[in-house]
Amino acid sequence: MAKRRLTSSEVVDMIFSDDIPLVPLQSDDEVSEASDSEDEFTPDLVVEEVIHTPEEEEDMMAPQDLVWETADETHQPFIHPFDDSGSGVTTTLPVMSESECFKLFMSEDFVGNIAEETNKYAHHLKQQGGGRGKMQKWVNTTIAEMFTFLVTVLLMALVRKNTVKEYWSRDPMFFTPFFHTLFSQDRFLLILRSLHITDPNSIIPRDPLGKIRPVISSLTNSFKQVFTPYRKLCIDESLMLWKGRLSFRQFIPSKRSRFGIKFFLLCDVRTGYLLDMIVYTGSSSDIQLVPGLGVTGSVVTTLLRPFLGRGHALYVDNWYTSPVLFLHLFKHKTGACGTVRKGRKGLPVFKNKMKKGEVDYRKAGQLLALKWHDKRDVHLLSTMSKATVVDTGRVDYTGAPKIKPSCVMEYNGSMGAVDRFDMKNSFVDCTRKTLKWYKKVFFHLVDCAIHNAQIVHQQLTGRVTPSQVFRRELMRQLLEKYHCPRNAPTAGRLSLDNPLRLTGRHFPREVPKTTAQGDSTRRQCKVCLHTTRRPRQRKMTRIFCAPCDAALCAFPCFEEYHTLKLY
């Protein structure tokens, strides 16, 4: 129950409100006679607002009110029913290719907005330059060029070099000619410097994520729209390496990066699909606080809000687990299991000294708490587990079978989705050292989109491909559609080709004779003039393809033109 005293302005508003009838002026005698009336209006009126939200009603049971008793194998938890008929990918694609799966999250409109903001910021930098520097050579970027830029960044993650400039080095020891066909060094560095996500005029004041918020909002919305999770979910932290100055930089010694920007990730256990994320920025984090649950519990309820009441099973670690949170989730038809800190408020008192392999169970209604002594004490809390032990299928050094509590086995098999994502991403992540934290976050989000695109592709096609193979095919398909080789005579050279040049039946013929040249009639070979596979040259030939109307050398140009997308 919450009490609030009205301010003087609110009192005046109530008096002159159309919804409340005005009380006519009374004489002194009338006022004295009505002094004991309950309907009397006085300036010191106190309004009591009774707020009975679901969260407050559930918080009426404090954790210390739980009555714990010894549990045995007869403990039967209630498992909320779950319908998985609609789980999985919820969209269909006309072409189930790697690039189409990726564009479910980073579409042409999405990349077009980034290109537009990049152009605006580039012109701003151009004006600040005062007519000097390489920024004065800026030419507006396009959607196709931005896709090529993303492919270049992704390729740099697979072809590792110490600095960006080494990718364009002419040193024979480091020379990688393919990067020269994508961008010049100056053009790539100009786009990287001008890369911008949000219009500065639209950023909310004092919003720590203002420069990257549109990307986070767009991706998280598309993540939840494309995929419906299966029963098991897990929440864990992920740390993106960042050692520069930043107000919300975190230090987590147990993580591989230790210093960086912390993400709270919600994952589907069965596939590893990322469903939602929260970037931790301190007190300004996008967390809707629930009374009685604290920050850790509010993180869980914020991420689970679209999935509460459906019968899901959640797995969390000891940073989140508490009796109050698990009771809150259970009343919203969501089971939970997780390790718990032994000093967490509301837990029962366990045995002090236990032998290795010994288990002590306690229960309070639906809650099951246990202490299991392995190499050290392990405490777990669950609302969907039995008080039983199971055989792990392994033996110890004496040959005796190893046994563990069933909830420990279930927790170990379900609590690794976020860690597996971090592990896979560590081999192919496209983030690079930069002075702008929001650029590194943007490239990290690109990795998240590719991770989900790979899972969607596997769900639709049934083919399991390694991360590097998936990225290689993704880059190849994006380049085939969006990239035009540098220094081409026309930007749309590929679109001017006969669309049937790679699939039709083609035969070499002699170039028709002209009146001026007669028997010596020749035309310039189209492949030799526009190729990106070898040095270009002007070469005359008497052979041409009639359906394509293209003059070609008999060897190897005729074959290359009709078999290669980029000749």
Q: Average pLDDT, stretch 288-304?
A: 91
The answer to whether residues 380 and 404 belong to one domain is yes
The answer to whether residues 502 and 478 belong to one domain is no
Is the pLDDT reported for residue 24 higher than 50?
Answer: no
Q: Is residue 128 one of the residues assigned to a domain? A: yes
Range of 3-7, 144-148, 422-426, 560-564 with top mean pLDDT: 144-148
The answer to whether residues 342 and 386 belong to one domain is yes
Which pLDDT score is estimated for 120?
93
Contact 544, 551 (CB under 8 A): yes
Rounded mean pLDDT of the chain?
A: 83
pLDDT tens digits along 160-202: 888 889 999 888 888 888 898 899 999 999 999 999 988 888 8
**Using alpha carbons only, what angle is made at residue 453 by residues 448 and 454, rounded to the nearest 5 degrees?**
100
Contact 14, 20 (CB under 8 A): yes
Structure tokens at 98: 């790697």
The answer to whether residues 43 and 126 belong to one domain is no
> Rounded distance, CA 333 to CA 178, Å?
55
Q: What percent of the chain has pLDDT over 90?
A: 44
Among 426, 454, 482, identify where a domain stops: 482
Dump strand ranges (E) for 411-504: none
Q: Which residues contact 226 (CB under 8 A, 6 or more apart)?
A: 89, 90, 91, 104, 105, 452, 456
pTM over 0.85: no
pLDDT band at 37; cut points 50, 70, 90: very low
Among 413, 431, 454, identify where a domain stops: 413
Which pLDDT score is estimated for 365?
87
pLDDT tens digits along 546-567: 888 889 998 899 988 888 877 8
pLDDT band at 52; cut points 50, 70, 90: very low
**Using alpha carbons only, what angle is made at residue 80 by residues 78 and 85, rounded to the nearest 5 degrees?**
150
The answer to whether residues 382 and 469 belong to one domain is no
The answer to whether residues 72 and 132 belong to one domain is no
Q: Is residue 515 one of the residues assigned to a domain? A: yes
Q: Is residue 286 one of the residues assigned to a domain? A: no
Choose among 415, 406, 385: nearest CA to 79. 385
The answer to whether residues 402 and 367 belong to one domain is yes
The total number of structural domains in the chain stands at 4
Residue with tokens 């537009």: 116
Which pLDDT score is estimated for 275?
95
Q: What percent of the chain has pLDDT over 70?
A: 85
Which pLDDT score is estimated for 206?
85
CA distances from 116 to 123, 314, 351, 441, 479 (A): 11, 41, 64, 19, 21
Contact 475, 158 (CB under 8 A): no
The answer to whether residues 156 and 114 belong to one domain is yes
> Rounded distance, CA 25 to CA 39, Å?
15
Range of 11-20, 131-140, 455-464 with top mean pLDDT: 455-464
Which pLDDT score is estimated for 485?
66
Which pLDDT score is estimated for 45?
30
pLDDT tens digits along 248-275: 998 888 877 789 999 999 999 999 999 9
Which pLDDT score is estimated for 21?
38
pLDDT tens digits along 456-500: 999 999 999 999 999 999 999 999 888 876 643 333 333 345 656
CA distances from 131 to 126, 185, 191, 192, 479 (A): 7, 21, 18, 20, 34
Among 374, 390, 413, identify where a domain stops: 413
Q: Is residue 248 one of the residues assigned to a domain? A: no
> Rounded distance, CA 486 to CA 30, Å?
94
Q: Is residue 36 one of the residues assigned to a domain? A: yes
> Rounded distance, CA 262 to CA 418, Å?
13
> Rounded distance, CA 561 to CA 565, Å?
8
Q: Is residue 441 one of the residues assigned to a domain? A: no
> What is the residue range of 375's domain?
68-81+318-413
